[in-house]
Each structure stands twice: as C-alpha cells, then as structure tokens.
Chains A and B, each alone.
Chain A
Amino acid sequence: MSGGGLRSFVARRLLLGVAQTVAVVLLVFTLTEALPGDAAVALAGDQPDPARIAAIREAMHLDRPVHERLADWALGLPQGDFGTSLASGRPVSQYIADGFGPTLLLAALTVALLVPIGFGLGVLAARHEGGLVDRLVSALTLAVYAVPEFALGVLLVTVFALKLGWLPPTAVGYGTDLLAHPAALVLPVLVLLSRPVCSLFRLVRAGMVDALASPYVAHARRYGVPGARVRYTHALPNALAPAAQQLARTIDWLLCGVIVVEALYVIPGLGTVLLNAVAERDVPVVQGLAVVFGVLTVVLNLGADVVARRLAPRAGVAA
C-alpha cells in the first residue's frame, strides 16, 4: 500500500466524517425540537401555569425562531463556544468537561483490561479449537454475554458489596475524584467489561481459527515455520482486522455514555449529563454532546479502518 493511497483515504474519510457530524447534529436538533414540550415546559414541571411557562420561555430566549437559535449556536462553534445551558445558564463546555473525566477514566480502564483478556482468551481458545479449554471459555463467555448489564450490575453489588463487603456499592459522593477511590471502580469496570470481552473473544477466536485453517498458513507450516511464529505473525493479524473494528465500536460505546452503569454506580459521566439534558430539553447541552459524540465516533472508526487496512489490505475496507 502506498503512503499516498492511505493519505487520500484518510482525507476522504475525514471529509465524510465532518459531513456525518453535521448531519448528526442537525438530526439531534430536529429530534429534540420534535419532542413534546420544551425546556420551559420541562422546568415548569407540575406547576404548568401558562403565564409562568411563557415567562421562562422568554427568559431562555426560546421565543425566537428555531433557525435563529440553531444559527447562533452554530456560529459559536468555530470559536470553541458550545453555548450555555438553558437550565442553568452555565457554559455547555463545562458540562462536557465535568462529565468527560469519569467517562474517560472508566473507558481507559475497561479497554486496558479488555484488550489483553479478549485477545488472550481468543488465541487460547483457537489453539485448542474443539478442546476442553475452547468449549469451556466459549460456553462461559456466551453465558456472561446473555446477562443484561443492569442485572449483572445489581448482582455484583449484592454479592461483592453488600454480602461480602469487599467493595463499596457505589461511587456516591466521590464526585470526579474517582482515582482516589479505586475500589469503587472495580464493579463498574467489571460490568463494562463483561459483554465486550465476550464479543471480542469470539471475533478473535473465529478469525484465528479461519486463518489457521487457511492455505497460506498450511503453506507456511510446510516450509517449517515454527508454530508460534505462524500463530502470531501470520494468523493473528488476519483476526485483528474485524477485532479492531469491534474494539472501535466498544470504545465509542464506552465514551458516548454508558448510562446504565453510571446510574447504578452513581458515576457522574457523560451518560448522566445526556440523560438529564434530554429530560430538561436543554437543547444546547444535547447538541454539544452530539458534536462530541459525533467527532469521537468518526475518529474512532477512521482509526479502526486504517488499522484494518494496514493489517489486512485484501479485506478491502470501503471508504
């Protein structure tokens, strides 16, 4: 593959990514506007006095036409101004910054454990394809995969925090300073790991099994290339291409709001910010998050595609 080819591939994908992000933001804006009620109605709650709602609406400048509000917000973006929250009047960037720390920490820890565990188990099972180890690991991962996050989360809290008392049940009151309380992170990371480990394991295992059965591996063996080298330099890269894309999707999911885990363990990350913002019809905050999530998704998928192209050019990743 020539460097020029890769560069133009990346350029095309970045352009497409910008278009995708704009489309996501427009879509999110339209959908939020289409939801019944606006920020004023949501704030008025069970005191829906029409005069009060009108006053709130005016104070929030919601009485201005839709396109004007969107344009105002969009014009601020190039200067890094994400606007201000309707509900509190605080800058949206502060919402994102505050929520990003816990989210990033959880995602980083999860990925740091996910990669070695997922690949390790996948390679191990592929080596013993059809054997006891393979069947045991496959059955176990399938079983874990079938348990919904919420149920697993509750189960882990009940056993490890409430019954055994080994770990704190939630991270309540720790705020953003989660690193100072590493014990509180164990259970959420376990829940976050549970399903991605299973899917990554299955992909790596399948890719390895396919590659090990392929003619080129058989050929390498006939030349007397040692088994370990065949496995790690010839077969594994082939299994990496689909795994890289799966990994990108997992990271994307981890960064773009793991609402269930955040709610269950009281971790104030981006998922919580998003949930509250939608309930409050706080359009600028929702839009700000849409931009962040859109950019993250585009960048992560692009990274995965580049990796996949390098590892297995024949797979022909479409731009």
Chain B
Amino acid sequence: MYDERFPGLRRRGFLAATGAASLGALALTGCGTGGGTDAEADGGDGKPRRGGRLRAAFAGGGASETLDPHLANLFADVARAKALFDKLADYGPDLSARPRLASKWESNKALDRWQVTLREATFHDGAPVTAKDVLYSYRRIADPEKAFRAKASLEPIDLDASRATGERSIEFVLKRPTAEFPNVLAAFGAYIVPENAGDDATAFDKSPIGSGPFRFVSFAPGRSAVLRRYDDYWEGAPYLDELEFVVANEESARVNALLGGQVEYAHELNPTTARAHEGKGQIEIVRLRNSAMQAFCMKTDRAPFDDKRVREAFFLIADRQELVDGALSGAGVVGNDLFGKGYEYYAADLPQREQDLDRARALLKEAGAEKLKVTLDTSAVAAGFTEAAGIFRDQAAKAGVTIDVKMGSKDSYWSDILDSGTLACYRSGAMPVEAHISQRLLTDSTTNATKWQHKDFDALYQQAQSTRDKTERTAVYARMQRRLYTEGGFLIWGFADWILGTARNVKGVEAKAPANTLDWARFDKVWLA
C-alpha cells in the first residue's frame, strides 16, 4: 500500500485490552494520562446501542478508486472491501488465521488436500454463499490475464484440480504440502464474490453484492461510499444503520474534520497530532501496536553485504531506541532484526540486540571493510523513512562507516530498490511470519529485496510447511529465525503503531488489531453511544 504514515505515540499505558476478537463488542481504547481521567471511565461501560450513521475518513486513491474487492490496494480500499465482502478466513491480532466464511478446515495427512466447509451465509441479494462462488472468486483472482494482488498468495492452490464437494464444501488440491494453508484463505484481497459477479468489472462500482456486514447504497470514486446495515449478516447485524467512507488525503484535513464533527473516525494520524489531542477529552486516540515493520534492507548477494560480518556490524551500529524516538516520534517499539513481533511463531526468546560500536568496528576491520562507504536509498514513500536514513547515517559515522543518503521517487520506490542498490529503507505491513518468509526470503520469492537465497533455508521452509504438529513446526520456524537473526539481510529496528482518532461517542473500536487484521477498520462491531 502506498503512502502510509507511521503514527506515533508517547509510550504510556496502553489499556485498551478488549476481549476476544469474536466478542468485538467491547469498547476500546484509552490511553489514560497519568491523572487517568476520561478515557477508561466511559470506554468500557455501556451496552452497545443500535442506530446512527458513522462517517470514517481515510486517505484514498482519488478518482481511480473502485469497489472491486480483488483490486483493493490502499487501506481505504480494504476498509470498504471488508465492510461489503468476506474472506474465508482473516487474521487475528497475532496474525494467525481465524475462520470467517469458512467454518472449519481439515487437511489430509500430507497437508496437500484441504477440505473447507462454509458456514451458512447469504449475499446481500439473499442468495446463499456456496462452494461455486468461492471457486469462482479464486479463479478470478488467479486469472493469468489479470494482475490481481492476491494472485501470488493463492499460488499454492491447484485451482483446476480443486472442486466443490457439496453446496458448502470445497476440496482444495494444493501443489505442495502447505501447513499454513489457512493463511492463504485469509490473504490480502482474497474476498468472496458471487459467481459471475466479476465478469463485468464495472458492476462492482454500480451495485456490488457481497456477504459482508454492510450493503451498498452509493459510491462516488475519490469522494464517498455510503453503506447500510445488512440485517441478515451471518455474524449478526451491525449496530450502525449507516456507514459512510469519505476520502481526505491530507492528514490535517482528516483531523480537522474529526475535531469539527464532520466525521466520527479518522484513519492514519500523525504522532504529533495524537500527542496534541491525547487525553484532552475532545477526541479519542487509538493506537494499533505492531502494525508496521521498519527496517533497513541489505542486499546479501553483493559487496559489502555479501560478507556476513559486515551485516552483523550493521546490526550492531543501530541504536534502535534512537531510531524509534526520532523517525517514529516514539510511536512504536524497538525491533530485534526479526519480522512479526508479537505474532504467531515469532522467536521472542532471542536476546534483544543493542548498539555495540566497538564490536561493530572490530567486525568491519576483520572483514577488511574499514572506511566503508555505502549508499542508503530512501524516499518520502513512507513517513519516517528520510528521518530514519539521516539518523542511521549519523550512527554509522560513529563506527567509521560513511553513509551517503540518496532520495528516490516515491511513486516507483519499491520497484527501484528491489534489485538495485545495496542498502535501502524498508517497511512492511502486518502479515504472518510465514508469509513474510515465503514472499521475501526464499530463492523463488517474488519480492526478495535482501537477495536471501539459500537452498538449505528454502528446505527448512518446505519442512515447516510439511510438518503437521504445531510444536514441531514452531521449532522449525525458530531455527529459521535464529539464522536470520544472526546473518539475515533485514536490519529490523522497530515496529510502528498505527494511530486512529475517533469521536468520543464512538465505542467498540478494537485497539488490539494491527493494520490489515480482521478487527482493524472493522465497523460492524462499532456503535455510537
């Protein structure tokens, strides 16, 4: 997704803990100040109330926006898509797959055939969601003529061999054992649409029909989308009568609209905004932890980073707290060179790496890389990138490394740094640890920006995917992560929070929901007090 902002925060009490995801009706949020006044007091009490219209402001894609859920690319697209449509599964707060339209899944012994059973759900026109709709949706996404984003995620499925085994049951045949197959069902953009709905692509913008909690009323690309409660939603009708998504690309405009009572929910706020309004009683600030990984990406196949001593030296150069405080305005936590802090399978037992300039200098000397000069690619593509580059340049100078910061175009940044350069600023939204590995760290990964290509590492991944027992699988992931921790190409220095603002009467906004997970930007469990 493009143009994400990394919100910030002051590290203070993060109360927010609400109940299980399935109970979403709990209230949110609150970051009481030291004096602890408002937030908690009216955060948790009160029964959900039905009715009302909630207006939510997102940064959007302008006049080119579409409601085709398979084309979802921006946060605004996904927020609209998940209100109108459902996936078979979605991610919980720890990025493990939770059943949604699928009520259960079972694999064969070899993990390459999965029987998925659908729950009883209906589309907005009353038609039941069937196995045929699921297969149609997945085949549409996988269409080789098209370039839908979720296509790569669905790659493990052999769609020609997969078939409906009943009205609400599907047998998915996979190309290879895939223990994490439920992750595929929860993949970004893998929404279920009615059979043949996508044959006329413009139909999605005129009258999209999904099985989601809200049904379509009107849509003006780049301006607004109005949705209405779907009373027969399988998980229970939403509390809100109406939900309107409005587009405001400028952060100050989203905040002003929220303060002025023109919207009740503003997505993506800056750390400084959050600080200015936190605990002031005018609006509520919600911080979604562990939403975006922040890193420097070292190309391990070329000098100077083809020497693992140089990579380790760079790991030791970083003062992570300074990066979090400076580049994220404190709105985040430090990283330990591993993706997915707080997620399922994350190797939390490895010691936190700290800055050690003497050791870094010694390693560089050993590698014959004293007086090293490196170019660091950065761009204004994500908030905090240019700041992080400047801070890291100063940190590296202390270890005798000269870093030349090079600004690139933000519209083509990700493509530019994929194959060229040696060192670049990098970030990633939330996804399961397994998806991070398969998309970025295998020999045939499509976006392997660190050029981490090791047959033995690939083999470990295959082993994990062929391991039925979860404890054993966790052990394999731990082995892989230990290797990445020691000599990987990602210097992961932090995890940024995502900041939302809501009007004080908005209740039920889940705070334990990294961006991209089920409970993020979820409005069917929200109510107006």
Contacts and interface: CB of A to CB of B under 8 A. Distances in A.
A69 interface: no
Contact of B63 (A43, A47, A99, A161): A99
Given A162-B259, A172-B57, A52 B152 contact: yes
B64 A282 contact: yes
Interface string B146-175: 110101100000000000000000000000
A90 B412 CA distance: 23
**Residue in A169, A173, A264, A273 whose Cβ sees the most chain B Cβ within 10 Å:** A173
B55 A173 contact: yes
A36 B222 contact: no
B385 to A, nearest CB: 12
20 contacts: A35-B412, A37-B409, A37-B412, A46-B427, A47-B149, A50-B418, A52-B446, A55-B144, A87-B61, A88-B64, A88-B66, A88-B221, A89-B201, A170-B248, A172-B247, A175-B224, A176-B223, A266-B247, A266-B248, A266-B250
Contacts of B221: 88, 90
A292 interface: no
Interface string A25-46: 0000000000111000111111
A105 to B, nearest CB: 15
Contacts of B416: 36-37
A36 B66 CA distance: 25
B17 interface: no
Interface string B31-74: 00000000000000000000000010100011111100000010
Contact of A273 (B62, B147, B151, B248): B62
A150 B63 CA distance: 23
A113 to B, nearest CB: 24
Given A52-B149, A272-B249, 15 more contacts: A42-B412, A46-B2, A47-B447, A48-B414, A50-B418, A50-B446, A99-B63, A154-B252, A169-B256, A173-B246, A175-B224, A266-B253, A277-B62, A279-B411, A282-B64
A201 interface: no
Interface centre among A88, A157, A161 (most CB of B within 10 A): A88
A172 B248 contact: yes
Q: Which 4 A-B pairs have the closest CB atoms?
A: A37-B412, A276-B62, A49-B446, A87-B64
Nearest to A167: B260
Interface residues of A, number: 53
A85 to B, nearest CB: 6
A82 interface: no
B1 to A, nearest CB: 6
Interface string A83-111: 00101111000010011000000000000
B2 A59 contact: no
Contacts of A173: 55, 223-224, 244, 246, 262-263
A45 B73 contact: yes
B220 interface: yes
B248 to A, nearest CB: 5
Contact of B152 (A49, A98, A170): A49
Interface of B: 1-2, 55, 57, 61-66, 73, 144-147, 149, 151-152, 201-202, 220-224, 244, 246-250, 252-253, 256-257, 259-260, 262-263, 408-409, 411-412, 414-416, 418, 427-429, 446-447
Contacts of A264: 250, 252-253
Contacts of B249: 263, 272
Nearest to A260: B250
B63 A88 contact: yes
Interface string A155-194: 0010001100100111011011000000000000000000
A202 interface: no
Contacts of A43: 73
A89 B223 CA distance: 18
Nearest to A85: B64
A48 B418 contact: yes
Contacts of A279: 411
A281 interface: yes
A154 B259 CA distance: 13
A134 interface: no
Question: Which of A52, A59, A282 has the most chain B CB atoms inside 10 A of its CB?
Answer: A52
Contacts of B429: 46
A41 B256 contact: no
Contact of B62 (A50, A161, A162, A272): A272
A44 B246 contact: no
Interface in A6-21: none
A196 interface: no
Contact of B415 (A53, A90, A99, A277): A53
Contacts of B427: 46
Contacts of A265: 253
A168 B401 CA distance: 52
A89 B203 CA distance: 13
A161 B262 CA distance: 11
A47 to B, nearest CB: 6
Interface in A267-284: 268, 272-273, 275-277, 279-282
Nearest to A153: B252
A44 B244 CA distance: 27
B62 A49 contact: no
Contacts of A47: 149, 152, 414, 446-447
B145 A59 contact: yes
A263 B149 contact: no
A292 to B, nearest CB: 14
Nearest to A98: B63
Contacts of A132: none
Interface string A203-224: 0000000000000000000000
